[in-house]
Amino acid sequence: MDNHKTHLSKTDFKKMLLSELQDVTNISLKTVKDRAPVELDQQAIGRLSRMDAMQQQSMDTAKEARRTGRIRLINAALKRLEEGDYGYCLNCDELISDGRLRLDPTFSLCIDCAK
């Protein structure tokens, strides 16, 4: 059995990035109502239920912040692809290993600079 991994092209990485961007965007769109302000009407829900709802809203808002950050990283990687800089470390300008980019195609630093 051959354990050699094939080299991924810039097109392959672009497909990975666009696919993840679509996935993250879809999740964000599907969860808009989860981040909506919690109804504070005492008659509608009890105090503990309202507290639970507020805690859930807070967690959903934090998840959205992480998704927004991920979208920024993906868009930055796509921009580097367009400009021909993708796969090169932003710090030392050396090539970022294929394995590192397979792990996360948004990485912008080589392993040495990331330490």
- The whole-model pTM stands at 0.79
pLDDT reported for residue 79: 98
Higher pLDDT, 3 or 98: 98
Task: Render pLDDT for 22-61 as a digit per residue (tens, 0 to 9).
Answer: 999 999 998 888 777 766 655 555 666 777 878 888 898 8
Task: Say how far apart CA 92 and CA 90 lie, in whole Å.
Answer: 6
Task: Render pLDDT for 54-89 as a digit per residue (tens, 0 to 9).
Answer: 888 889 889 999 999 999 999 999 999 999 999 999
Name the token pair of 96. Answer: 């970022």
**Ramachandran bin of 46, using left for φ above 0, alpha for ψ from -120 to 50, beta for the remaining angles:** beta
Query: For the chain, which residues make up each domain, given as ranges?
Result: 10-84
